[in-house]
Structure 1
């Protein structure tokens, strides 16, 4: 029972962090119809900045700079590389392919800078743990749940209560009608990219924190486990991204905790478990858990 509770807490923490990245996928898709495959490299960029700046600025200062810089980089990528004149939803598939090239360029440069090192982000939790009854959990896991919950609540508040959120929902529903009603589509999608970049930089802190050994050049690839979470939720549904992320996080933690019982599926099954869950769910619900049956944007 103790082992199960450990796995559930770890899965909840992982799911909360994956939700930050998955929301980035969703908000960009809602704003522009683009699937941003550069999300993992943006996460690595934010984590790298936090790692190299925390000695001079402290953890909080370095994280603030990293979140802002990653948001600006994401917005600049959209504005300078993807947007040409007025946004055209028909070009979304081409822009999606462009994000793959952007990801390769960013990952190549960041991998060169990081090399084989393991970088510490200077987080205040370190390797400390806390005992809750019979369960021992890392402080970083509890921090991941708390911080992610606050960030996710703030994102949902932006969607629901701000003019930008209203514009985003209008653009996702009918791009042409939103433009005719005065919605500045280019600004809406650029801000969506900025938000996705900021969330990715925040997620980097917890993906590199204990029990992980630190930030390494493959950390950005771990973030791509949030992609099946976004697909599971319906791709254009923020609540779906949250539900899908929790499902993926719990699946990964439970598979890792019972790897010895699942050896018949192979030693690396934990790495593909999120994608296996995605395929199984999509076989039953092709539009995802929260996807609209009539959705046509791809």
Structure 2
């Protein structure tokens, strides 16, 4: 029972970090209809900047600089490569393909810089653990839960309480109508990309923290595990991204913890478990857990 509680708490913490990444996917998709395949490279960029800057700036200063720089990079990608207001037919598909090129360029350069090294991010938690009754949990996991909760709460406050959030929701409902009402779609979209980049940089800290060995060149690929979480919840649903992330985090942690009992499924099944869950859910709910059915004109 204690092992189950340990795994469940670790899974929830992992799901909270996945939620930061999944929210980035959802925010960009709601703003522009683009599946941002460069999101993993942006995450790696944020982690790399934190790693190289924590010496001169300290952890807090390095994290702040990395979040800002990654947000600006994401905004620059939108402004420089994905021009237009997004109302032209077929532009979302072209932009989605363009993000593959951005991902290739960023990932290649960052992989060259990191090489085979394991980079430490200088986080203050280290390998410390805390005992909560029968459960022992890494301090980095508790920090992930706390920081993710604050960041996610702030994002939802932006959605509900700011003019930008209102504009984003209006654009997500009907892009052409929003443009006719005077909403500056390009600005809304760029800010959405910036916010997604900032969330990715924040998530990188916890994906590279203990019990992970550190930041490595493949860390950005972890963002691909958050993609099923976004799809599970419904690509246009921020709340669905949270539910999907919790489900994916718990699934991955439990499958990894009980790998010996699940050996019939093959070694390393925990790595593909998120995608297996995604397929099973989509067979029942093709639009995701919280996805709305589209209207069909007949």
SS in 2 for 1:225: helix
1:7 aligns with 2:21: no
Summarize the Cα distance change of 1:12–1:61 in structure 2 as closer, same or farther, 3 Å threshold: same
What is residue 35 of structure 2 aligned with on the other side? Answer: 35
Cα separation, 1, equivalents of 2:154 and 2:295: 26
1:120 aligns with 2:120: yes
What is residue 129 of structure 1 aligned with on the other side? Answer: 129
Q: Which runs of 4+ in 1 moved over 2 A?
A: 84-90
CA deviations on 1:231-268 (whole Å, 9 max, x unpaired) are 00110000000000000000000001000000000002
SS in 1 for 2:137: strand
Deviation at 1:85, TM superposition (A): 6.4
Matches within 5 A, 1:1-298: 1-84=1-84, 87-88=87-88, 90-294=90-294
RMSD: 1.0
SS in 1 for 2:292: coil
Cα separation, 1, equivalents of 2:89 and 2:39: 20
Deviation at 1:83, TM superposition (A): 1.1
Cα separation, 2, equivalents of 1:38 and 1:102: 6
Cα separation, 1, equivalents of 2:188 and 2:110: 29
SS in 2 for 1:168: helix
Cα separation, 2, equivalents of 1:53 and 1:88: 41
| Greater mean deviation of Cα atoms: 106-115 or 79-88 | 79-88
Structure 1 gaps, min length 5: none
Cα separation, 2, equivalents of 1:261 and 1:86: 49
Deviation at 1:87, TM superposition (A): 5.0
Deviation at 1:294, TM superposition (A): 1.1
Summarize the Cα distance change of 1:89–1:247 in structure 2 as closer, same or farther, 3 Å threshold: farther
Summarize the Cα distance change of 1:114–1:244 in structure 2 as closer, same or farther, 3 Å threshold: same
Cα separation, 2, equivalents of 1:10 and 1:84: 43
Cα separation, 1, equivalents of 2:9 and 2:86: 46
Cα separation, 2, equivalents of 1:227 and 1:58: 31
Cα separation, 2, equivalents of 1:145 and 1:10: 10
Structure 2 gaps, min length 5: none
Cα separation, 1, equivalents of 2:216 and 2:7: 24
Summarize the Cα distance change of 1:113–1:259 in structure 2 as closer, same or farther, 3 Å threshold: same
TM-score of the aligned structures, taking structure 2 as reference length: 0.98
TM-score of the aligned structures, taking structure 1 as reference length: 0.98
Deviation at 1:70, TM superposition (A): 0.2
Summarize the Cα distance change of 1:295–1:58 in structure 2 as closer, same or farther, 3 Å threshold: farther
Cα separation, 1, equivalents of 2:86 and 2:235: 24
Cα separation, 2, equivalents of 1:189 and 1:88: 14
Contact map agreement 1:232 1:281 (CA 8 A) in 2:
yes
